[in-house]
Amino acid sequence: MPRTKVAGIGMYVPENIFTNNDLLKYMETTDEWIEERTGIRERRYANRTTETTTTMGVEAAKIAIERAGITAADIDFIIFATLSPDYYFPGCGVLVQRAMKMKEIGALDIRNQCSGFLYGLSVADQFIKTGMYKNILLIGSEKHSFGLDMTTRGRNISVIFGDGAGAVVLQPTEESGRGILSTHLHSDGESAEILAMYNPGTHANHWGKYADFDDAEIAQMFMSNKMVDDAQNFPFMDGPAVFKKAIVKFPEVIKESLEANGYLASDINMLIPHQANLRIAQFVQQKLGLKDEQVFNNIQRYGNTTAASVPIALCEAWQEGKIKEGDLVCLAAFGSGFTWASALLKW
Ligand code: COA
């Protein structure tokens, strides 16, 4: 059975740099608070009229496709991971298919937030190993800047997120010792609501608030003025609770990938953690006993780009020559759901 290799990788971040100090215009916060708690100094915000989650994904995809030495016409399946799609439906995969004038290939959208890219990688790996597809385009892209509460009310979340996209072209390889060794996926829905965007959604009556509404009123509950007034169209996060769970599950799922393949943490050439918070990544590094040169972080410049953060960090690490052929690379993510995942690969 072939393994799956990354044949090409690309990333795209908007030109517009938004520093911590730029946030002061909108909310009560400080550069010091943000940097001390999260490591973030600046993030990118998409051009408000020309860039969408899909267009950023397409820009990253063009680079990945060119680096793989193929054309868009060779892609036989698209997987798109995002929590900030251009439309509630349809997903961004079909918009990529249209924008890149691809054949009438399959397009799958994945809604697993921070672990979305790794879930996509795992799905692609299965399709490639079974011989179903030969050139899968996997994109992680987010345009958070269109959906944040930029007032003091939303400051614990809004300061964290940024926009950007990363993409890989995945192909089969018969080269021994190369490619994805294993992927590991997990979830625990017990705390689904502590990192979530509640509306638009179909749960409204489930919360009991609308029990007295008639059917016509309920039919409009997907998105109401009241929800907007209550800021329910913005993400909600219990930051400390997320932090506590993340620092347990990140090391656990990384160790799981190492143990499945007979490796130790010291064997890792590069760990690419989802860029949730620099403090989380530092805790994970310490817990696993990894040296600085074994872990890549770029959250300082891009913030948390959710489904895009792993491919953006992977791409930058590779572009900077920090990942070379034959290196043992571990990718890991944790986020809303909760869902968490890892992948171990030989580059
Ligand atoms: N600027 C200044 N003060 C802020 C602030 C901001 N941007 N955001 C929150 N605060 C305040 C709070 O209002 C609170 O004030 P109070 O003590 O007077 O009530 C205080 O800072 C502490 O808030 P808390 O939420 O307990 O802060 P924290 O130390 O836990 O840090 C996070 C907040 C979000 C940085 C931290 O919890 C975190 O990083 N969690 C993980 C989040 C994450 O990784 N999310 C992505 C998952 S993929």
Q: Are 172 and 213 in contact (CB under 8 A)?
A: no
- The residue among 41, 42, 45, 38 whose CA lies nearest residue 13 is 45
Q: In which residue are the tokens 């509306």 written?
A: 199
User: Tell me, what's the pLDDT at 204?
Assistant: 63
Helices and strands in the chain, H and E counts: 12, 13
**Cα first-last separation, the chain:** 18
Q: In which residue are the tokens 């892609």 written?
A: 75
Residue 274 known to be catalytic = yes
The number of beta carbons lying within 10 Å of the beta carbon of residue 163 is 30
Whether 276 is in the pocket of ligand 1, judged by its Cβ within 6 Å, is yes
Q: For ligand 1, pick from 156, 253, 279 the residue to mutate: most ligand atoms within 8 Å of CB.
A: 156
Name the residue at shortest CA distance from atom 45 of ligand 1: 276
Q: Are 12 and 63 in contact (CB under 8 A)?
A: yes
Residue 156 known to be catalytic = no
Running along the chain, 347 residues long, what does each successive block of 10 average in pLDDT?
97 98 97 97 96 98 98 98 97 98 98 97 98 98 95 95 98 94 98 92 67 76 79 91 97 98 98 97 97 98 98 98 97 97 98
Q: Are 145 and 124 in contact (CB under 8 A)?
A: no
Give the contacts of 137 (CB within 8 A, at least 6 positions apart). Answer: 61, 64, 65, 75, 77, 78, 79, 96, 167, 168, 169, 170
Q: For ligand 1, pick from 20, 28, 37 the residue to mutate: most ligand atoms within 8 Å of CB.
A: 37
User: Tell me, what's the pLDDT at 27?
Assistant: 97
Domains of the chain: 3-173 (3.40.47.10), 179-190+237-346 (3.40.47.10), 198-233 (no CATH)
Name the residue at shortest CA distance from atom 11 of ligand 1: 156
Q: Is the bond preceding 311 in cis, omega lying within 30 degrees of 0?
A: no
Whether 304 is in the pocket of ligand 1, judged by its Cβ within 6 Å, is yes
Which residues are registered as beta bridge partners of 187?
339
Residue 135 known to be catalytic = no
User: Distance between CA 312 and CA 139 in Å, rounded?
Assistant: 10
Catalytic residue among 20, 92, 112, 114: 114
- The residue among 201, 77, 197 whose CA lies nearest residue 134 is 77
User: Tell me, what's the pLDDT at 208?
Assistant: 62
List the structure tokens of 68: 């793989």
User: Distance between CA 160 and CA 150 in Å, rounded?
Assistant: 11
Which residues are registered as beta bridge partners of 290?
none
Cα 35 to chain centroid, rounded? 21
User: Tell me, what's the pLDDT at 209?
Assistant: 66
Q: Is the bond preceding 273 in cis, omega lying within 30 degrees of 0?
A: no
User: Tell me, what's the pLDDT at 213?
Assistant: 76
Name the residue at shortest CA distance from atom 8 of ligand 1: 156
Whether 38 is in the pocket of ligand 1, judged by its Cβ within 6 Å, is yes
Taking the CA of residue 195 as reference, the ligand 1 atom at the shortest distance is: 47
Name the residue at shortest CA distance from atom 38 of ligand 1: 239
Q: Are 59 and 165 in contact (CB under 8 A)?
A: yes
